[in-house]
Structure 1
Amino acid sequence: MTKTDMLLQIRDMRVWFDTPLGKVEAVKGISLDVKRGETLAIVGESGSGKSQTMMAMMGLLAANGSASGSAKLDGAEILGLPLKGLNHIRGERVTMIFQEPMTSLDPLYKIGYQLAEPMIHHKGLSAKEARAKAIELLKLVKIPDPERRIDSYPYELSGGQRQRVMIAMALANDPELLIADEPTTALDVTIQAQILDLMRELKERIGLSIIFISHDLNVVRRFADRVAVMKLGEVVEQGAVEAIFSNPQHDYTKMLLAAEPTGHKDPVPADSPRLLEGRNVAVTFTAGGGFLGRRKLEVKAVRDVSITLRKGQTIGIVGESGSGKSTLGRALLRLFDSDGRVIFDGQDISKASPQQMRALRRQMQLVFQDPFGSLSPRMTAGQIVTEGLLVHEPQISRAERDRIAIQAFKDVGLDPASRNRYPHEFSGGQRQRIAIARAMVLKPKVLVLDEPTSALDRSVQKQIIELLRDLQQKHGLSYLFISHDLAVVRALSDYIVVMKNGVIVEEGETAAIFDAPRQAYTKELMAAAF
């Protein structure tokens, strides 16, 4: 192999963070190579050091982070480059798609401006040329109605749509190396397949090299050329994809490959009490208008949907990004106004006042899709988990709250000693577990889980599924489980609702939907996932 065949060489990379409890070593002397035109997948559980390795190379570590070793791009050292040199590398030669798009997109600027800015800066395009290119990129990543969406703010897009904007931004300047950190985490299965095809096409057309960080081994197997398996900051095994998947050598690799969601949930009895009902629920959002004379635009996110959740039941709600899944879940929790009726535990709460709803909030909890955006950066993880107890059980002592936090951390597979750390000190998957623990400590009757396992590796997903099953069986809980991960939905749900464009296109018991889907759209979802 000649020198020019190798694009990136990482040698003896070490990353550590200075914390009040001492030095924490996140990456422990790893070495990796990436050839031109190659896709290297880095897999491992949350906290294994996958993302921190790339963040160190790109000069993006937190203020308390440090790195040593070597990272050479095309033979030139880039680890520790001054900011001016790094900005050139990051803007033109190496780009990165981050795991959590809402924390990467500026909420004050329209996505068109954020897409155009790097092209104006690095390519010298005019504002008009950059806008036209931005619309092309939005089309490439399958954003619907790109000519209109280019003038949207990040909060006006679904989680999957925001992730697609991040992918478009990363591809804007035709980089040599694309670092994709969980790029399909927030995407539904059909768009996931399209995005992977797009990156594969770019790789072949311009010789793009890709570092693909993921916990989804099914995606890795279809997409990568080589795999490096990381555990606790070390590379325990690496090699060609087929060799790793067909004949893994390390016990940890074998465990990851065996960690697919399994089991099923039996349907609840037909006479099980109705707990949460939506009757002809409709949600319409209005944008524009006002004194500037902008045309008022109405978006019908949910259209005349009726759904019944019974005690002890888990309804899986699936569909593409923008299908209305999350909006329906929030409407049923009365987090914003909707048309139609919502009935909780026999009580019509459609017109309940905020004061009346406050008394019911403990019984109706929500786990958000984006954990970083829902966790206060100024509170410790332990304080976040027990925050609801201050509202609903103010008589509990501080010592008792701490005991509850310790148990909650154990339940979701986190080290209780970490409860005194802050959200930014956790990986994306660990933050999601904190969000789940926060909802669980209140022992609600209904829990709406909006992509609760999307940021978790498979082994932890299995733990969370078992946790949810145990809690449901013990307390008779009911779940609305919103997800694009059909393997997890099948393992946890006893009833499936398939949504598209704000309406239910098919519903039924889990086995019937997965084994014999009737509608073409449902068949398309199944084909993309399996």
Structure 2
Amino acid sequence: MAESVLTIRNLNVRFRTGDGILHAVKGIDLDVAAGETVAIVGESGSGKSQTMMSVMGLLATNGWADGSVKYRGEELIGLSPDKLNDYRGSKLTMIFQEPMTSLDPLYRIGDQIALPLTTHGRMSKAKARARAIELLELVRIPEPTRRIDSYPHEMSGGQRQRVMIAMALANNPDVLIADEPTTALDVTVQAQILELLADLQKRLGMSIVFITHDLGIVRRFADRTYVMKRGEVVESGVTNEIFTAPKHAYTRMLIDAEPTGRKEPVAAGSPMVIEARDMKVTFGLKKGFFGKAGHVLHAVDGVSLSVRAGETVGVVGESGSGKSTLGRAILRLLPAGGLVRFEDRDLMPLDRAGMRPLRRHLQLVFQDPFGSLSPRMTAGEIVTEGLLVHEPRITRKERDRRAAQAFEEVSLDPAWRNRFPHEFSGGQRQRIAIARAMILHPKLVVLDEPTSALDRSVQKEIVELLRELQNAHGLAYVFISHDLAVVRALSDEIMVMKSGKVVERGTAEAIFEKPKQTYTQDLIAAAFLRGLEDVKTAAPLAS
């Protein structure tokens, strides 16, 4: 192996919790050589992200690390924040899973890219702005001189992730740590980001530490792989060797993990829960922040669907296809045209006060549980928050009892309800988000990318949990996702959306076995990595 840029020895990470000390990372060793890509994989809660957060000195306030982390021979553990800042943002940089929570919504992206340049590079504002434009061009943001003044909400998910990469590359780092950088992206954008990272690595000669639960990506992107389980490295080595001849049973389980089985048909005569007809949602786009109105975006354009008790309708498509907007329109969470009937009631004439009594029956589970769970509330308080609105007369003791019951229903230890969100893994946080919806005994649940942030083995568990809850309570689901493997395992019917319209619909079997539209065929090919070349050996992208 080439000279080690990052050397980790006997690293331990611990957190103080209400239930005692949590030992998250247990004495691991790890090396990253110059110019190589190292992947760290494992289930949620395995310690892979906390390992790198400790390297960057970004652990939560109740956490601490000991052992040794050396960058080119210089010890980082124990350094003060001021000393760490000599490395962070310049020699060692990190990009995170969800750029919308990492980018400040109040500042233009150009100002945010310029910040590490003025802080670490001591550049003037004018030079930093010029460098920011160069970086936007480097990560292939179209019209960089114009987009530099955009706000994060004015960019797509893929563009925001490119902005995060530009920020990380601002000072030509030695090591780029990428923590699930493509998880929240649809499969076509994911492929573009991977190709971009591989190309930038070749140009800049940097090392990449790639944290992910997607083993398909690891196989095509990483030189070496570390497999973590419950805070320990259980296997490491050359990536191809690990995939072709895994030595540890846990590694074999991860490689084989994928949602399986097919959904049972809906019982004959199941009542209609929700019916939407000719749904339309439009947004007036503006030329600038205070500019005059420009053209109208038809986010949802004449879409209809119906869901019966016990039925799941899957909605798939690329980012910007309108699938999440459709889900919110059905729940009357944004202005829309068309017809929405819940059971025998027309929802469209109802105002906010009129909708309030029905909200408990119409629930939404979000993509990013960490962003939707208040960090200041315990898990039990989060789960019972809806009861304060819909059942205000019940006692605190009764709320706590129902919280414990909800935790059991989603297969979480009820004793954990006094913990805070950051003390849970991603999969556990998603179970908390599901419990928050289920405690109100809803009839319809819109699930907006509920498994995209989870590793395959945890996805499989969440799929099985959703099936059990649906069977137990006769729930109707609208399941929105770009992950076609999960959609296939859960759905009765699938709708394929593009540019606000439904381009194809049918049974899950028909869509996957005999897709009619080229767009659907391309989505399926990308989702199952058919024809995706190895990005490590691909030719550099054109500038």
Shorter-normalised TM range = over 0.9
Contact 1:301 1:324 in 2 (8 A): yes
Specify the alignment match of 2:15 in structure 1: 17
Residues 202-221 of structure 1 mapped to structure 2, 5 A cutoff: 202-221=200-219
Matched residues, percent identical? 65
Deviations 1:191-224 (A, max 9, x none): 1111111111222232221111111222222221
* Alpha-carbon distance in 2 for matches of 1:518, 1:410: 43
* Alpha-carbon distance in 1 for matches of 2:229, 2:410: 19
Is 413-422 or 122-131 further displaced after alignment?
Answer: 122-131
* Alpha-carbon distance in 1 for matches of 2:267, 2:18: 53
- Cα separation, partners in 2 of 1:216 and 1:413, compared to 1, 3 Å: farther
Q: CA deviation at 1:452?
A: 0.6
Deviations 1:472-501 (A, max 9, x none): 122221111111111111111121111122
Q: CA deviation at 1:273?
A: 3.7
- Cα separation, partners in 2 of 1:386 and 1:499, compared to 1, 3 Å: same
RMSD: 2.5
* Alpha-carbon distance in 2 for matches of 1:234, 1:263: 31
* Alpha-carbon distance in 2 for matches of 1:144, 1:305: 31
Specify the alignment match of 2:254 in structure 1: 256
**SS in structure 2 of the partner of residue 352 of structure 1:** coil
* Alpha-carbon distance in 1 for matches of 2:140, 2:345: 42
* Alpha-carbon distance in 1 for matches of 2:158, 2:276: 25
Q: CA deviation at 1:275?
A: 2.4
* Alpha-carbon distance in 1 for matches of 2:90, 2:468: 50
Deviations 1:44-95 (A, max 9, x none): 1111111111111111111221111111112222223333332231112211
Specify the alignment match of 2:537 in structure 1: none
* Alpha-carbon distance in 2 for matches of 1:166, 1:247: 35
Contact 2:18 2:419 in 1 (8 A): no
**SS in structure 1 of the partner of residue 21 of structure 2:** strand
Tell me the amino acid that sits aligned with residue 433 of structure 2. Answer: A
Specify the alignment match of 2:293 in structure 1: 296
Tell me the amino acid that sits aligned with residue 390 of structure 1. Answer: L
Q: Which runs of 5+ in 2 are unaligned?
A: 529-543
Is 154-163 or 210-219 further displaced after alignment?
Answer: 154-163
**SS in structure 1 of the partner of residue 88 of structure 2:** helix
Contact 2:17 2:423 in 1 (8 A): no
2:439 maps to which of 438, 441, 445: 441
**SS in structure 2 of the partner of residue 488 of structure 1:** helix
- Cα separation, partners in 2 of 1:197 and 1:322, compared to 1, 3 Å: same
Tell me the amino acid that sits aligned with residue 247 of structure 1. Answer: A
Deviations 1:11-58 (A, max 9, x none): 011111223443222111110011112111111111111111111111
**SS in structure 2 of the partner of residue 95 of structure 1:** strand
Residues 334-349 of structure 1 mapped to structure 2, 5 A cutoff: 334-349=332-347
Q: CA deviation at 1:103?
A: 2.8
* Alpha-carbon distance in 1 for matches of 2:7, 2:95: 20
Residues 119-518 of structure 1 mapped to structure 2, 5 A cutoff: 119-123=117-121, 127=125, 130-131=128-129, 134=132, 137-138=135-136, 149-157=147-155, 159=157, 161-268=159-266, 272-288=270-286, 294-297=291-294, 298-518=296-516
Contact 2:4 2:32 in 1 (8 A): yes
Contact 1:228 1:238 in 2 (8 A): yes
**SS in structure 2 of the partner of residue 308 of structure 1:** strand
Q: If the length of structure 1 is used for normalisation, what is the TM-score?
A: 0.92
**SS in structure 1 of the partner of residue 90 of structure 2:** helix
- Cα separation, partners in 2 of 1:146 and 1:385, compared to 1, 3 Å: farther
Q: Does 1:45 align with 2:43?
A: yes
* Alpha-carbon distance in 1 for matches of 2:148, 2:408: 44
Q: CA deviation at 1:148?
A: 5.6
Q: CA deviation at 1:512?
A: 1.4
2:92 maps to which of 89, 94, 100: 94
Specify the alignment match of 2:83 in structure 1: 85
Q: If the length of structure 2 is used for normalisation, what is the TM-score?
A: 0.90
**SS in structure 1 of the partner of residue 304 of structure 2:** strand
Is 503-512 or 75-84 further displaced after alignment?
Answer: 75-84
Deviations 1:431-481 (A, max 9, x none): 222112211222211100111112222222112111111121222211111
- Cα separation, partners in 2 of 1:112 and 1:343, compared to 1, 3 Å: farther
Q: Which runs of 5+ in 1 are unaligned?
A: none
Contact 1:58 1:79 in 2 (8 A): no
What is the count of residue pairs matched by the alignment?
527
- Cα separation, partners in 2 of 1:366 and 1:130, compared to 1, 3 Å: same
* Alpha-carbon distance in 2 for matches of 1:141, 1:483: 26
Specify the alignment match of 1:519 in structure 2: 517
- Cα separation, partners in 2 of 1:152 and 1:96, compared to 1, 3 Å: same
Is 388-397 or 440-449 further displaced after alignment?
Answer: 388-397
- Cα separation, partners in 2 of 1:289 and 1:484, compared to 1, 3 Å: closer
Contact 2:136 2:163 in 1 (8 A): yes
